[in-house]
Every structure is written in structure tokens, then in C-alpha cells.
Structure 1
Amino acid sequence: MASNVENVSASQLRVSSEMQEMFCEECEQYSTEYKPAEGYCVDCCMYLCEVSLLYHKGQQHNIQDKYTMPQDSCSEKCSAHSNKRIKFYCENCEEIACSECKKTHHQNCLDVSDLAAVVKGDEQAKELEDLLEDMGELSEDLENTKKEIKSNVEYIASQETIEKLKISNQNAKRVADYSKLQEEIIENFDKQMEETTANMKRERQKLVEKLSEEMRKFQEKLDNAEKDLTKACKSLTTSDQTNLDSLMEKTLTIIDELKISSANLKGEENSGKKCHLFIAIKNAKHKTRNLRNSLSEIKKENRIKYNSTEQPQTNQTNQTPESNTSHFSYEETPEPRKETTAAFYSSIETHYSGFQTSCLLSVNTLTVAYSEANSLLLVQDIMQKKPAFQTIYMFSKLWAITKVKDNKVAVTLPNEGTIRLITFSNSMTVTNSDDIKVKGRCYGISCSNDYLIVSTVSHFFHSGKVQILDMSGNVLKVLDKDCNNKALFSNPLYLALSPDNETIYVSDWDKNTVTCLTFDGKIKAIYKDNQLLGPCQLTTDELGSVYVCGRLSNNVHQLSPLLNKVKILLDGSEELAYPVSVSHCMNKNRLYLGMWSNNIKVFNLSQV
């Protein structure tokens, strides 16, 4: 794998061959003397001299002699207690601690271990290897992003030249067309002139002079329009260039920070001080997560405007060109559709089946709502070969799930007409749960800033609607009718939002359609295809492409932001078994497809 970060295997971890001399911690604490340690008290986690050992033996403590006691200690001082050395690591809180921190902050924690005992094994070698591999992937992702930005820079540099040439060619054609029109007028007049008197010859001359003046004015208008359009074109490309320059600067900064973080890790590894390496790994993990979040923001902003120069259609038989007040328009066009290819990556066995929806809480955590099982499944460490699973059982049927914040999701409970907001701790345990009542049976759900978008269905009347709510459950807008006051939906079970949170996508199970509309209820497009049957969950990527699962057609369709069919991305011959849920990971550019059977298929996406 090409990367700015060198991969380091666990076998490259080295421990200093020199045995460190340990000193009695009681003497150091109470008398500021440094006496060599002759043993180690396992119960107190302290190195002790010969005199202190006698006291601890009298207390029936577990004592190790100087030959069996731990030989690796940490010399770093606690950031909160400068006179205390770091000696412990809390598995529950994932924090290092001195003896004072252990008493005050971790007295109720069950897994607080001596740091020397923690680093004695080879676990951190695997952790280091995984971290460096992740950093290597991030580095590769950064390089690809840099190439994409460079490509966009080259594109906008050439756009102005192309548009100016197009304008010049269009001007020449219009002048030629207008000249031809004038020639036809003159020819018709010449025929009449043969039958007229000398007076008509004078009228002809006047007409020629008039047309010549009109041509001069028309040419002048075209020249002015060309100047205005060139100025507008330059202004737009300059704006894109400024934005791309800023994104490139941010990307290069992340690359430099990643290199520094990698170099620090290697330096600590080569020092042979495993405690220091342990702390460096933890710090690098936090740093890498922050860098990845920064890269995600860069990807969202790495877009350029696609513009096109157009000229109005005029009927030159009843409208003269010089009377036209609009000669050219320079408008932003929808982003060109980009086809995507999908390559099978892995399969995650979940042991649940049936209707489901999913959403990513983070790059490492996938949440899946299983309707028939009344269960919310948390799939953690999804980047690993063996992810961890945690099941939260509900007392009612649940349907759809969406991310509200990094540690908060919203789940619909259709039988109760309730939206349940669930908050998780860092260790993914439920810390809070609030309910919002909804009028009707609620199914699909998405979140946009401080608003919830939810679909409700009345199965008795075979009709559905989309409601926009605030976080207290107050209905702000109801979307259920088209411009002809006809019902928009029959069975809208799933929702998704565009990356800019300005467009709502709704899949309708009964109509086999996907509808694209604004928050004001304006219909932008409706997608219907005989190869899409039983549409289920749908999602969007950072470029606005829409991916929708066909449960009954056993495929996944890729659509443009305005619901033009790009392609059938996956069908039944490509590892599919009736997909019903789909989530897109922007950081890895992956699709997580939940099957009707008990597994989730993972696919890597790439642009054609």
C-alpha cells in the first residue's frame, strides 16, 4: 500500500535490554531518599526497599522479590499531581493515572491495573500495528484527495478559455445568420425594385443604410454582452480557485501532522520504553481521529461549480436580433453524473433477519434496527475482521433509525406512534432515552440540524405523508399533496436527505417509486423503473448520488441527485440476497448493505 506512513509490524517492537534500577517508593515519598528496591508489593503496586518489605510482609501482602518483580516502570509525572508518577491504567475509562488519581477518580472502576503489568504483554504491539495501518490508509486517502483537488484546479483553469472560445464561435454564427437574413430582405426588395420607379431605388438605399445601422448596434450589443459574460465567468472561476487553494492548504497541513505523529510513534518505539510508547499510541489515536474528521470536512467542501453558456432561442421571422435584450446566460448546471463501481469487501454475520434499517454513528460503529426482532444491534469495530456486537432489546416493534448526533440516534416505533431518542456513552451504553409522540404510525426518519423528518402511514386508507418536526415533536410542515392536490404517497417507508440537507428523498413500497422534493413540498423529480421493485432504505454519498435497495428486485440502483438513473450498481449475481438496508461511509467510501438474511455485506466504492 502506497503511503506517507511506513507500516510497522508487531515484531519490530523492541524492549531495552538494560535492566532499569528501581527505587523504594515509600522512601521517596516520605523521606525523599532513594534506596534501591529489593522487592515489589503486588497489593500496593509499589517498589520497596528491604525495610519497607518487612512491614508489608507483616501485613500478609503478596510480595515479589527483586528477581521476579516488574522491571519496566514509567518515569512520567502525572499532569494533575506533579509529585506523583504515572503507575496505573484504567480499562473502563481508557485513562492513565497516578496513585492519587486512582483514589479520587477511579475508586469505583473495576479494571484499574498496574501500568507495568499492562505493558508486560504484547497486546500493544497489535494495537500499534492496527493504528499504523489505519494511519497508512488515511495517508493514502489524503493523497487521493490531493489528486482530486489538483484535477479540479486544472479543470477550472481551462474552463474560462473554453467558454470564451464558445462565446466567440456563437457570436460568429449569429452574425452570419443575421447577415443572411439581411441578404434575403435585400433580395426580396430587389425583385420589387425591378417593377418600381426610381423612387423605389431611393427607398432601397434608405433601407440599406437603416439595416447597416442596425447591424452596427447589434454587433455593439453582442460585444458588450460578451464582455459582461467574460467578467462573470472569471468571477466564478476565481471563487472556485480560492476555495480549492484553501482546501489544498488544509490537506497539506493534515499530511504534515500525520507524518509528525507517525515519526513520534516510531521514536517512542525505538526508545524501548514501553510505557512511553503506550501513552504515545493513545495520544496518536485521538490525533488520528481528529485528522480523519478534518479530512471528512475537506471532502464535503471539495466541489466545483459546473457552468455552461447558453443563448436564448429566438424566432427571427417576427423578432429582430437587435430587439432581444438577452443574448447569453451563464448558469450553474447540475453536477455531472459520475458512475460508481462496487467491489465486495467483507461480510458481517449478525444472526438477525427481516426488515431493517441502519446508520453509521462513526467510522467504527454501525447501528442496525431489526423490526421483527424488536432489537437495536450495535456493530462496533466494523473495520476489524471480527467486530464486536451489542444488542439493545426494545419492548415494541421498531422500524427506522437515523443519527442525530455523534452519540445519539432516533428510532421510530410505529405501533406506539413514537420516536425514541437514545443517547450513548463513549463505551456505547445507553445513558438516556426520551420519547416524542407522533400522530400516526411512524416509519422512515431522517435528521437535519434541529429538525426531524418522519414518514407516517395510514394503512386503512392506503395513504402516507411526510412530516417535518422540531425536536419537541411540534409539526412544522406536512408534505402529502402534489400541485394538483392529489396524494403524493401510498406507503412511504424510508427517507434520506441530500448532503446539503436541502432535499428529501422518499421511497414508496406500494408505488415502487423514489420521490425527490424540497422542504417546502416542491416535487423536483420522481424515479420509477421496472427494474426497481419493493424499494427499501436509501442513502446518499458526499457527491449527492442516491443509492436505493430493491428488496423484491434484489438489486441496488444508483441515481443522480435529480433521480436520473445512473446504473444498477449491484444485482443478485453480486453477493446480494435481497437487500433492505443501506448506509454509506464517507471516510472509507463504502456501502454497508443489510440483507434479508442474517448478514451485512460490505462493498468498496470507486468512481469510474
Structure 2
Amino acid sequence: MATSDPIASADENPGCPICLGPFHIPRQLTCMHCFCENCLKSYIKSKTAKVNDIDKIECPVCQTVVRRPHRVTSVESWTSLLPINTVLLSISSESKVNAIRPCEACQSRNVMKSAESYCVVCKEAMCVECKVVHQHLKATKAHSIISIEELTNTPQNALKYATAFSCPDHEDENIKFYCTNHNLACCVVCCGTRHRNCDSVLDLKAEASTLLKKEDPEFIIESLKAFENHLNKFTEINNENINNLECQMNVVTAMIQDLRKKLNDVLDKFERKIKIDGNLIYKGDMIQKQEQNHACLSLMNAIRNSRTELEVVKQNGTDIQKFLVNGKTKSQLRSYNEQIHEKFEKIDKITLQLEIDPLLQSVMEGKIATLVTKSESQDFPMTSVKKPTKYCPLEVAGVFQVQSQDEKNPDYTDLVCLPEDQVMLIDARNNSCYLLDSLYRIISSYSLPGKPWSIRTFDGQEVVVSLPDKNQIQFLLVKDNTIRPTRMIKTILPCFGIAITGKGCIVVSGPNTARSKCYWSVITDRGEETSYHEYWDKAWNDSFLALNASKTRVYISTWGTNSLFCFDRAGKRLFVYSPDNLKGFRGITLDMDDNVYVVGCNSNNVHQLSPDGAVLKIITDGLPQYPAAITYNRITNQLLLTNFSRNEKIHVIKLD
């Protein structure tokens, strides 16, 4: 029963995450992940075949939504308009053997011809006929033309003649600027719309070298290597499971043959039955593990592609290329980290055993033994790569006025960052929530049925808001710049703090007044309680919750206890943080390295702690008076804060 090993066939060269083979014309989505042109074409067809709709797809690796360009009318035209990643094309093993690239001019007319030349000025691949026309047109006859082999021969050439980075929101515009207020690269259209009020928009060509000095490509490369190593170990254990299943099935078969000599006809019937059952279990588990390996290898290929591209650009690219590739790879770390924690954090060690029933009566009934599969789940934590320096406040990015239309002065108790650089803000005094754009202007609002306290993202475009005065949790859908309710669940106890585990469960905290205790518990998204823990001998209302990236630690900040508590998911207390120089514990958030930020409202500071509770930094500069709510923006690496009661401003602090 030999099994195929997909890992054994993997190459060190970059490979397509779909087919797991070397790239053949690597096409790049707006999320920067690359796939073979034919693989991507087949993927789009499979996703749109049933509904006959090609308006949008999700990236096979990170599930980022990629929308169809307006001029696209078919799957073929969609894939042909996606940019070719010249760097990956040049370092792909297949490109060195057969550097096939279609003529882009012919392809726009749905004519497929192989390109033999490349115009350095137009950034366009051409066949022989198109090259002749190109050289005789008055507007293009002076353009420099090189061969496709020269273009794809080395990474240096690929970078030298690479096309410019296009804006993900404006496909016809190239990235030329960088907004330091939002830490985003942008095109001229973005500058005139989203960033027209920003006070620091830089010319990338002039400032790339300076901006690059603030980045740390080595940290990103080491993080990508750590992800690869983790996935390698995961597949090694899964391969061991497959081999164990094969060997143990052989052992089970031998046991059956030994019993057959003693039980004659009864064992003949049992042998047929047990072999059928055993093979079903073995094949089912083996197929499952091989599917896991394929998913693991697909993600590993995407990570390897990101690392290889960054290493090549680091060695051979211009400062602009280094900075942009470094930035976009940095944005992919979160997706890789979350997928590994969600899909590959635990792995089952499987054994196959034959348990013999001791009762002789079972022999008469034809029941001799039972084939069972034992699965022992174990934590498989990923080794994190720490930055060489700690986070510290770099500068105040801005103080933004939030103009609401409510009559009462707002009390912004909590806020959360959403995709597309938007923010959701809740107002406990006016029982409202607001959707803000990237410049913190209100673009939509919704009146809640109770007094809100905490808000968190739940799944995709959905958010959840705790309503402790109603013992309820409100689910809201944020889509197309609008807010609408989807469902409401009841909670057994008042729920103040709230956090999401990522698997349809919600961690909540608050007071149990009947028992005069502070509690935290885990409930399902239907309101069913799965665990309950008490941590303080008085019933304080104002608590805030946060979870680490792997959802294994629960952090609770409580004003009344003037402490930060840390528990594991089983309820074991790991540490309590109660310093003298932090008073009035309020909001809490974690950054991408699981460092903890907890607000001291009365002490006017924010303490930055390591995941184990060690003090890293005490932040005082740039804070509002009486800071209250806090959240971390992973896209821009910024802290967003509000202050306690009657203030319509958001303070933004940029971290290094």
C-alpha cells in the first residue's frame, strides 16, 4: 500500500500554489499572490461555472476578493489582463527551459502567438509581426527592444525591465506616491481622493531610499522561513501518520490471519468485514491527510514565492522595488500567520488498533473485535520570529475630528479597524455605531437597540457589538459603506467585554451580580455557553477583552480591579498585571507580535507588555486626556485611541 508523497516532488524554486509545479506564465492578483495563467483560468471557470457570473473571485491563498475589471467580458480576457510577475518568471525553473510568453497585442484580439521580443518603453511582449509594426511606427520606432530570453534570463534583467507596480484600486494607474499618514503606497488618483487631506504624501521616486531605511526585510524573510519550516514539520508529521496507518494496517491484517486459524467459519465472515471496515478507515484518513498536505504545500509555495521574490528584489532591485515588494510582502504576513494558526496549529497523531471483545457470546453473534481509530490532538505551536527592536511610539500621526449628528455629546467606548482601512466606532451615550472612512469621516451610522460597550470583527464583513444593558449581542453586516443588522443573540449574563475565537465562538466577560463575581466565559454564536470562569470576588461592569493571534490566551482589563488578567483557554490564570503607575484600566488591544497595549484612563498612559506580561514601554506622548478605547490597525501599524466621554476626536499614534 505505497502512497505518493507530494512533498518529495516539490522543488526549491518558486511554484504555483494551485498546481504545486513550476510557474508557467505567473499572473499576479491584486493581493500580490501569483499563479500559473492556465491554473488561474481554470480556477475562475470553476468558481463561475454554476452561477455564470465573473464579477469577482477570491484568491485561492488568502481569500481576498478580486473584482473583475470593467472591460473584461470573458475568463480568458480577465486572466490575460492580469500582470505577469517578471521576477517569478525569471527565477522559475520552467522559464529557464522554455521562456514562453504570449504576444500581448495579439492576445488583446484573442489571437494566441508566442512573443519573441519585449519593448522596454511600452513594457509589452511582442511576436515577430508586431515587432516589425512597432519598429516602423513613427511613435515607437525609437523604442528599445530586447529578446524575451534576455528579459527572463536573470532576476537582474527581470527587475531592470519589470513593469511598474499598478494601483490595486485603479488598474490603469501606477503607484508613484506614499502617504505616511496611512502608511500606504498610492497612485495619483488616490492622492486626489482618499489622501487629499493628508499632510504627508511623498514622491516615491525621491523618497524610496529614505523610507526603505525604516523597513526590515530581514525580519520579513526570517518570518517567511519560519512559516515554511512550520509547514514542513506539519507535513512531516502527516507523512508519518500515513506511514503509520499503512504499517499498522498490516499489523491488523496479520492479527486477523492469526485469529482465523482458531475461529474458522466465523472468522472467515469477520475477516471480510474487518478488512472492508479497515480499508475504509485507512483510505479515508489517508485521503484526509493527503488533502491536508496539499493545502499545506499550497500555502508553503505561496510563502516561498513571497520570500524568494523579496530576496531577489532585495539583492537586485531598485529602492522603489525593494520598498514596494517589502511592503506588500509585509501585508501578507498576517494572512499567512492567521491561516497557519487556524489550519495548521494542531495535528492529530493517528494510530490504528484492533480491540478484541473478551465476551465469548460475541463470537456467537459474529462480533469478535472492533476496529478503532484513535486520534490524539496536540498543540503544534509555530516558532515566532521576533523583531530585533521593540515597538515604541514614533510620532503622532494625527488627531481627527469625528462629526456625528447626535444631540448628546458622544461617549466612544470602543472602536475596531475593518478591511479597506475603515473604522467602526460605538457611542454608548447615543446608542449608536458609526462607520468611518480612512480619514475618519462618518460615512454611515446605525441606531442600536441598547447601550453598546465593546465591538469586534466577527467573520468577513460582519461585526458584533455587546449590549450589556439588554443581555444581548448584536451582529451587524458592514458592506458597500452601509450598516445593517443581521441577527441578535441573548446572553445568560450581562456581557461587557467581547472577543472572537475565529471558530464561531465568542469570549465574553462581565459581572455575575447574583454571585458577586467577575466572570468570563465562551459562548457559541447562538448564545450557548460552553465554558464559564470566575476571576474576581466583586461584580465589576467595565471590562474589556482581547485574544492573542492563536486564540490560546485571554486578556481581560477591568477598571474596578485596576488589573490586567491573563488566562489560558482552560481558565488557568497565567499572570495578573497591577502596576502603581497605571490607573483606571480601560481598553486593550494586541499588535501583530502579540504585544499587549492596555489603557490607563486615570493615569493618562498606555502600557505596552510582552505576551507574558513584561513591561516593554510606557506610552505618554500623543495621547488624549483620559484615554479610553484603543485598537491596533494592522495595515498601517498604528494605534487608534478615543478619550473618556464628551470628545469627538480620534488620536492616531504611529508605531515603529
Query: What TM-score results when the alignment is normalised by the length of structure 1?
Result: 0.49
Query: What TM-score results when the alignment is normalised by the length of structure 2?
Result: 0.45
